[in-house]
Amino acid sequence: MGSPLGDVGGYLWFSWVLLVGFAVTSVLLFVVLVVVRALRDLFARRRARAADEVRSHIFEVVMGEDGDAGRGRTALAAARGRAADRVERQVFEMLPKLRGESRAELVRLLIDSGAEQHALALVGSRSSVRRCRGAFQLGMLGLTRHVDRLVGLLHDPHFLVRRVAVRALGTMGDPRAVRPLLELGEHDPRLTRDLVFALDRLGPDSAPELRSVLREEMDRGEHLHLDPAAVVLGLLADRPSVEVLSEGMRSPNPSFAGACAEALGRIGAPEAIPALVEALLDLRPNVRAGAAHALGSIGSSVAAASLLDVVDEQEPQVSRQAAQALVELGPGGRRMLATSSSPYAVEALALEAIRGGRS
């Protein structure tokens, strides 16, 4: 039988070995963590310096004199490997903030460095994240010959890819995107805001195609996905669309009819007044409210009597808009509004008095 003192000594020795082992391991872990932290900070500083250098060259191209701009272009074009990827990424990040010749200069630089092929490769990737990046880059490059590639992404199974493709088509600025964008709105109402943004970005050149699509769809009795087209025609202040928008207020779809009324108000064409006055008799409150708001925006006293009749109706939304429209018609409209007993007439006059006192 072993001695108890021997057992105790063995236990103490084993405990001492464990303690030393834990201490050494802790020191090693601490050293490793310090080294990893130092290396991470070192690499971060290197990346920051490299990014600052690229940024300075971009600013030379965009804002510098001829000599500085040439030096910046040469430096950016000379990048290879990871440095070239960094240049491409930073230039794409800068493009949304630029307009005019500065933007065009950077786009030419990207195309010369192969960004077009890189973007097309990303668009065809199996990764949804890369497809998003490729769609964004194609839109920024503005190469309308690739509009069909972006239109194809409107049917991508991933929502974010479709959303980026919608905005990229707007940035690209090709009116051929109008019809597929509106068709997408029929199947994916979550993208309505993005569609309005994209169609508006297409600019005045898209107005004829918007009018054409509105006319065709209304003739076929399809009114369910046309709200963005009406909204954008209003934002573009497209006066030739007054006729088709006036007809649109008679649509059985109340949302589209209301959008047409609001668009006519933004356009501000006096020839829309008869149709807007007629819309004040529509059975749908949102259409009547939209027509009243539009008449106030146009600012013609011709509609004052019709607006006064609407002020006295029971629908709060409509009465408030009609009262505000009369205020916007000026002194004559306010005098007519003062004859009404509607609480919304009193409210509109009181608010106008407060605003007048502050001005």
* Residue listed under structure tokens 């699509």: 213
pLDDT of residue 8: 61
pLDDT of residue 144: 92
Q: Is residue 207 part of a domain?
A: no
pLDDT of residue 3: 55
Q: pLDDT tens across 20-67, in order?
A: 888 888 889 999 998 999 888 888 888 888 778 888 888 888 787 777
The CATH number of residue 116's host domain is 1.25.10.10
**pTM for this entry:** 0.76
At 269, the pLDDT band (50, 70, 90 cuts) reads very high
Instruction: Please say if the pLDDT value at position 171 is more than 50.
Output: yes
**Radius of gyration of the chain measured on its C-alpha atoms:** 33
Instruction: Please say if the pLDDT value at position 6 is more than 60.
Output: no
Q: How far is CA 28 from the centre of its chain?
A: 52
Q: Is residue 166 part of a domain?
A: yes
Who contacts 259 (Cβ-Cβ below 8 Å, separation ≥6)? 226, 227, 230, 231, 234, 248, 290
Q: Is residue 216 part of a domain?
A: no
Q: Is residue 130 part of a domain?
A: yes
Name the residue range of residue 100's domain: 78-184
Q: Is residue 83 part of a domain?
A: yes
Q: Is residue 39 part of a domain?
A: no
Maximum average pLDDT range among 125-139, 206-220, 310-324:
125-139
Q: How many domains does one find in the chain?
A: 1
Q: Is residue 359 part of a domain?
A: no
CB 230 within 8 A of CB 254: no
Rounded mean pLDDT, 206-221: 90
Rounded mean pLDDT, 168-176: 93
- For the record, the structure tokens of 11 come out as 């236990």
Q: Is residue 355 part of a domain?
A: no
